[in-house]
């Protein structure tokens, strides 16, 4: 393992984060708010970052897969730690609550311990939004450019979906993918900002929500989330850009470079589209059957299905008051999540699609002992047994971690619904859930131990489980 180079890379990550923290500083100056907490946070991050980046001069500049696990995991942890400083420096949150809020931001989970968002300093609100935007961009680069090279849980399929020429060296390929994804991400953010501003949202709030929608993060500037604006136009705009964030960004790139037909024909995209449509129809029917107006039922169902299905976590209604069928659909979507290579969390629809096809292959052999197994295909490509094994292992680990996390919450004397949904929303990076973590609740009532445990689940879920779990294995650190 190239420890010195890893530390230097982490140092430059903190340097970038430190310079970004000057945005809240500028916001505080413009809005006439205290500047010192944000300035101290930015300078602290820069000092630590430059100490690592400039104080270490590694001779070996070669990175291996093991280094990728370490840099990615520690990068998210360090960003969350230093990103928590503004919350503490402004006396808004305790250290544990600040860490939870920061982790929820950088992992684009959207769970919050802030009990009163409206009335909070503009500089702190913009920092909450920026943390999600940075986390969303980070997970795209991680999922599209790094995970396939690490071979994590079936994501090897993305390697063949990478835009551009096939390059054997890791760094040029990662850099090229990062630049392309960055451009698309920034473009979508700018487009949503303009759309929300034109629809009547104020400039500051439009910017904050543009940051947290494309990243499918879900932090809002209002206690009632998107429902606080009471605007159908704003809701439909947010729906569209949540869907954009939940779609594989490689497909965005293909569509923009003339491959719209091939993008629309992608197996996972079609599966994801039918899934969203079917879930919306089921929830809308449940609401309509509850005597809600047809038009309102469709809009409310569409918004909440897309929000939970992309793990954005915005809300426009208290869905805990909806029929059991609607809640059950949302709970399933919370587990499933969006597409691979997107900013969404969850198991990912690519894995779900491969599981269904592997199940179909297994069922085709029932009653035919000598039958040749039906091959599992993705598009026109044969999916290897190694990839399928990775998918099954990932889902098994996902269920195991969720079960342990739920037990931890339940041990703090919470009911079954709250315990299970809190664990699922944390590992799936969703935000709101059910029970005492519902759409108009928050996570402030949990004891510190539960908050720290859920924060760890958020990071594990954001890093596709194996990336973090690999560091806990003794043999990983052996030469």
Q: What is the pLDDT of residue 144?
A: 55
Mean pLDDT of 416-443: 93
Q: What is the pLDDT of residues 114-130, one digit of tens each?
A: 988 998 999 999 999 99
Q: What share of the chain has pLDDT > 70, as a percent? A: 89
- How far apart (Å, rounded) are the C-alpha atoms in residues 368 and 415? 46
As a whole number, mean pLDDT of residues 187-195 equals 96
The pLDDT of residue 9:
84
Q: Is residue 336 part of a domain?
A: no
Per-residue pLDDT, 155: 45
CA atoms of 304 and 296, how far apart (whole Å): 12
pLDDT at residue 196 is higher than 70: yes
In this prediction, what percent of the chain has a pLDDT beyond 90?
58
Cα–Cα distance for residue pair 164/138, rounded to 1 Å:
20
The pLDDT value recorded for residue 383 is 81
Provide the pLDDT for residue 474.
77
Averaged pLDDT for residues 170-179: 58
At 351-362, the pLDDT tens digits run 999 899 888 888
Condensed to tens digits (0 to 9), the pLDDT of residues 328-337 reads: 999 999 999 9
The per-residue pLDDT for 381 is 78
Q: Which of 159, 226, 216 is nearest to 346 (CA)?
A: 216
In a domain, 35, yes or no: yes
Instruction: Give the mean pLDDT of 20-45.
Output: 95
Tell me whether residue 82 is in a domain: yes
Per mean pLDDT, which range of 203-207, 208-212, 267-271 is the poorest? 267-271
Q: Please check the confidence at residue 431 and state whether its pLDDT lies above 80.
A: yes
List pLDDT tens digits, range 279-315: 999 999 999 887 766 567 889 999 999 999 999 999 9
Residue 460 structure tokens: 């594990």
Q: What is the pLDDT of residue 172?
A: 46
In a domain, 316, yes or no: no
Number of domains making up the chain: 1
Of 45-59, 354-368, 418-432, least confident by mean pLDDT is 354-368
Residue 177: domain span: 3-256
Amino acid 424: pLDDT: 95
The answer to the question of residue 240 being in a domain is yes
Q: Which among 249, 297, 304, 286 is positioned nearest to 430, based on CA atoms? A: 304
Residue 464 falls within a domain, yes or no? no
Of 33, 202, 221, nearest in space to 117 by CA: 221
Tell me the torsion sign for CA atoms 51, 53, 55, 58.
Answer: positive
Quick: pLDDT tens for 63-89: 677 777 788 888 899 999 999 999 999
CA 238 to each of CA 180, 192, 235, 318: distance values in angstroms, whole numbers, following the listed order: 23, 8, 5, 18
pLDDT at 174: 57
Per-residue pLDDT at 245: 93
Q: Which of 219-233, 368-382, 385-399 bottoms out in mean pLDDT, i.e. has the lowest?
A: 368-382
Question: Is the pLDDT assigned to residue 168 strictly greater than 70?
Answer: no
pLDDT value of position 3: 82
pLDDT at 479 over 80: no
Confidence of residue 387 (pLDDT cuts 50, 70, 90): confident
Instruction: Return the higher-pLDDT residue of 188 and 159.
Output: 188
pLDDT at 71: 83
Mean pLDDT of 193-207: 96
In a domain, 327, yes or no: no
Query: Is residue 437, in this structure, part of any structural domain at all?
Result: no
Which of the two residues, 338 and 150, has the higher pLDDT score? Answer: 338
């Amino acid at each position: 393992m190239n420890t010195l180079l890893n530390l230097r890379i982490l140092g430059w990550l903190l340097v970038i984060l430190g310079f970004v923290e000057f945005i809240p500083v500028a916001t505080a100056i413009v809005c006439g708010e205290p500047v010192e907490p944000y300035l101290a946070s930015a300078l602290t991050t820069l000092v630590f970052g430059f100490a690592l980046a400039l104080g270490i001069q590694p001779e070996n500049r070669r990175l291996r897969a093991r280094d990728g696990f370490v840099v990615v995991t520690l990068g998210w942890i360090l960003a969350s730690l230093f990103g928590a400083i503004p919350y503490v420096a402004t006396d808004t949150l305790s250290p544990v609550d600040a860490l939870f809020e920061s982790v929820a931001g950088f992992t684009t989970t959207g769970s919050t311990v802030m009990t009163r968002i409206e009335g909070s300093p503009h500089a702190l609100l913009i920092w909450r939004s920026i943390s999600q935007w940075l986390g969303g961009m980070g997970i795209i680069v991680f999922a599209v450019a790094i995970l396939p090279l690490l071979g994590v849980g079936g994501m090897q399929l993305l390697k063949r979906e990478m835009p551009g020429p096939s390059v054997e060296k890791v760094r040029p390929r990662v850099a090229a993918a990062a630049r392309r994804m960055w451009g698309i991400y920034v473009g979508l953010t700018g487009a949503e900002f303009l759309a929300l501003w034109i629809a009547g949202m104020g400039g500051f709030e439009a910017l904050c929500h543009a940051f947290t929608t494309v990243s499918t993060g879900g932090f809002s500037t209002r206690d009632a989330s998107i429902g606080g604006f009471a605007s159908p136009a704003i809701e439909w705009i947010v729906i569209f850009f949540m869907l954009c964030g939940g779609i594989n960004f490689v497909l965005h790139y293909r569509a923009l470079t003339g491959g719209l037909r091939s993008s629309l024909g992608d197996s996972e995209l079609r599966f994801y589209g039918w899934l969203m449509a079917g879930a919306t129809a089921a929830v809308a029917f449940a609401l309509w059957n509850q005597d809600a107006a047809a038009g309102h039922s469709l809009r409310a169902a569409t918004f909440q299905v897309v929000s939970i299905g992309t793990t954005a976590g915005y809300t426009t209604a208290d869905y805990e008051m909806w029929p059991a069928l609607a809640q059950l659909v949302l709970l399933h979507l919370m587990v499933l999540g969006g597409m691979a290579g997107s900013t969404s969390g969850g198991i990912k629809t690519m894995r779900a699609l491969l599981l269904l096809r592997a199940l179909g292959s297994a069922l085709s052999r029932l009653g035919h002992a000598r039958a040749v197994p039906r091959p599992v295909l993705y598009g026109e490509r044969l999916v290897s047994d190694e990839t399928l094994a990775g998918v099954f292992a990932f889902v098994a680990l996902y269920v195991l971690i969720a079960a342990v996390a739920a037990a931890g919450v339940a041990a703090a004397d919470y009911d079954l619904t709250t315990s299970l949904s809190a664990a699922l929303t944390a590992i799936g990076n969703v935000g709101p859930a059910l029970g005492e973590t519902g759409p108009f609740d928050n996570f402030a009532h949990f004891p510190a131990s539960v908050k720290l445990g859920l924060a760890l689940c958020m990071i594990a879920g954001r890093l596709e489980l194996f990336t973090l779990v690999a560091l806990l294995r003794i043999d990983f650190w052996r030469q």
